[in-house]
Amino acid sequence: MTEDITFPVIVKRGDLYAAPYGMEITALIRTARRMFQMPPRKANSLTTASDLADHSVRTGRYVWLLVKALSARQMGELHVAPAVLVAGAALHDIGKLSIPREILAKPAMLTKDEFAIVMRHPSAGYRIATATLMQRGGTSEFLTCVAEVALFHHERWDGAGYPNQVASKNIPLTARVLSVADVYDALTSARAYKTRMPHREVVEVIRDGRGSKFDPDLVDAFLSVESDFESANNESVGTE
């Protein structure tokens, strides 16, 4: 089954509006703009602000590598088409459109109060995606997937995550896959307030999170393809 997975057009750099889900993504951005009363330029920032857009695109690429590495048993648990998850994963942080830019772009560690605001983005993303889904008749597999990964991607296997402290297999597999990809990209990327962590160290962080932060099976899947992550990471550094 995994041999059939091809890398979707949507996760190429700068192509978030591209087929096959361009209309749904445009509708998501419109909903976010309306819901959070944002001016058009800010709503477009998901695709133009380099940090968020590049993070989304790279995370989609890492999700693709993980999906290919899932065991047959895990693939049975995956209730969406792999290409839908890869595309939906790129939108997992859409709730960040609700967060003031000065917090998202702050060139220093966040205060406790600022971080509390950032922690609202999974619920905000879920609201944006479900409202868009309802507007479009409630039948889009892609929008359903975006709602799911948005809501659950900061939950932890041990139940110590946010926003709802959901644990283990109560976290959908889509979001468990995404959380490994998301952390890999966050740690291997430079931010205004931190430098990039080398691939080797990130592998150890993810290995240490086996059974606490991450699904143990997903960490095993990651370790089986970590050299592919390193290659993809080197490629993305080269294009930054």
| Encoded tokens for 17 | 């509006």
- Pick from 24, 93, 215, 217: which binds Fe ion (CB under 5 A)? 93
CB of 186 to Fe ion, least distance (A): 9
- Least Å from the CB of residue 220 to Fe ion: 24
What is the three-class DSSP state of 107? coil
* CB nearer Fe ion, residue 92 or residue 199: 92
Least separation in angstroms between CB 227 and Fe ion: 26
Which two three-digit tokens encode residue 6? 């091809």
Smallest CA-to-CA distance from 173 within 153, 159, 187 is with 153
Q: Tell me how crowded residue 161 is: count the other CB atoms within 10 A of its CB.
A: 20
Choose one: 66-74, 90-98, 197-205, 210-218; the region binding Fe ion (CB under 5 A).
Answer: 90-98
The stretch near Fe ion (CB under 5 A) out of 22-30, 37-45, 85-93, 157-165 is 85-93
Question: What H or E segment, with its residue span, contains residue 98?
Answer: none
Token pair recorded at residue 215: 């699904």
Residue whose Cβ sits closest to Fe ion: 93
Are the C-beta atoms of residues 69 and 225 closer than 8 Å to each other? yes
Cβ of residue 153: shortest distance to Fe ion, in angstroms? 6
Nearer to Fe ion, 56 or 74 (CB): 56
In angstroms, the CA 231 to CA 5 distance is: 19
Stretch that binds Fe ion, among 37-45, 88-96, 163-171, 206-214 (CB under 5 A): 88-96
Q: How far is the CB of 121 from Fe ion (least distance, A)?
A: 6
Rounded to whole angstroms, the Cα distance separating 165 from 171 reads 10
d(CA 217, CA 107): 35
* Closer residue to Fe ion in complex, CB, 9/49: 49
Could you say whether residue 155 binds Fe ion (CB under 5 A)? no
- Choose between 19 and 119: whose C-beta lies nearer to Fe ion: 119
With a CB cutoff of 8 Å and minimum separation 6, the contacts of 7 are: 61, 64, 86
In the complex with Fe ion, the residue whose CB is nearer, 93 or 185, is 93
Q: Under the rule (CB under 5 A), what is the footprint of Fe ion?
A: 93
